[in-house]
Amino acid sequence: MVLKKTFCFLLTFLLLPINILAYSDYIIASGENIGIELNTDGVMVVGFYKVDNHDIAATSGLEIGDIITNIDDKKVDSISSLVKAINESNGQIKISYVRDNITNYTNLKLYKDNNTYKTGIYVKDSVSGIGTLTFIDPNTKLFGALGHEITDKSTGKVLEISDGKIYASNVTNIKPSINGSPGEKNAQLFVSEVNGSIFENTIKGIFGNYTGSLDKKLYKVAKPSEITKGKAQFMTVLEGKKVEFFDINIIKINNSQSTKNILFEITDKNLLNKTNGIVQGMSGSPIIQNDKIIGAVTHAIVNDANKGYGIYITTMLEEGEN
């Protein structure tokens, strides 16, 4: 009887779930400026226009932000495939579109003008911009950047993507921030220098597979419990491709937020003289404290550009590994 109880206890113990982190203890903290290109999962409706003085699409049930995925039985994954499907139709099309993760359908009668079908719909199939590469896991080649999502400007929603790329880039100049209006980095993109493919766009960053050079310094990943108030630095590019370190002071650490975990203020006079605070394009800049990577810059406080928020690096790593 005693042996049977012992066996049951051991079996129960062995079946307990074990939480094993997939990311490495040491990762590359990048700070490099990157060009970003995202392809939408379908084509996105971004506006409407009148055809022969009729709002044919605006009254069809379609809304700005809808993702068109099919025309009749033909898959739509780009503007060119949309145009092809429309030109092969008989002037009456069935549109499949996604809104809030639900597939809907509508019919649309097209108008012909100079032997070309008109839909009354403005669409796009990609977006591009710049940001900062946060980390690369040298073992899995996973990269993370931005520390926040890329949204569609017309809807404010997280952009649903099929894939994307990151490119090498060169910062050409900085437009400084003023309180109430964040500044921005301006950069030249090198589309021939692809450094990775993007597979995910989430509220915690963009993630993908890195294909560029891994010849960079490794930093130990800090747990949230190891982060303290006080001095730290973040890494970013202000000119060309040169990654520099800039001093900050961590004011508050917040474990109750999913993304805005670190509140900090810029104390680096050189940075303030050049940018007057946090500017657009700095999102993803890795934060270093005690020679460990602790997080990434994500947001500026609009009315006080000297202050901003950061996300825990562990949060980004866990999101990318999921």
Q: Which of 89, 119, 149 is the last residue of a domain?
A: 119
Task: Examine residue 9 and state whether it is found in any structural domain, yes or no.
Answer: no
Same structural domain, 230 and 310: yes
Do both 63 and 150 map to the same domain? no
Task: Note whether 200 and 75 are same-domain residues.
Answer: no
Do 61 and 177 reside in the same domain of the chain? no
Do both 61 and 183 map to the same domain?
no
Q: What is the CATH number of the domain that holds 63?
A: 2.30.42.10
Last residue of a domain, one of 90, 119, 148: 119
183/253 same-domain check: yes
Q: Residue 303: which CATH number?
A: 2.40.10.120
Sign of the C-alpha dihedral computed for residues 104, 107, 112 and 115 taken in this order: positive
Answer yes or no: do 215 and 293 share one domain: yes
**199 in the same domain as 67:** no
Residues 67, 145, 276, CA angle at the centre, nearest 5°? Answer: 110
pLDDT digits (tens, 9 = 90+) for 125-147: 999 999 999 999 999 999 999 99
**pLDDT digits (tens), the chain, 322 positions:** 444 444 443 333 344 444 455 789 999 999 999 999 999 989 999 999 988 888 888 778 999 999 999 999 899 999 999 999 999 999 899 999 999 889 999 999 998 877 889 999 999 999 999 999 999 999 999 999 999 999 988 778 888 899 999 999 999 999 999 878 889 999 999 999 999 999 999 999 999 999 999 999 999 999 999 999 999 999 999 999 999 999 999 999 999 989 999 999 999 999 999 999 999 999 999 999 999 999 999 999 988 989 999 999 999 999 998 8
Contact 237, 243 (CB under 8 A): yes
Instruction: Give how many domains the chain has, as a whole number.
Output: 2
User: Are residues 288 and 201 located together in one domain of the fold?
Assistant: yes
Distance CA 234, CA 81 (A): 43
Q: Is the pTM of this model over 0.85?
A: yes
Q: Which residues are designated catalytic?
A: 148, 268, 283
Boundary-marking domain end, from 78, 95, 119: 119
Q: What is the model's pLDDT at position 152?
A: 82
Within this chain, do residues 172 and 275 fall inside the same structural domain, yes or no? yes
- Do 286 and 146 have their domain in common? yes
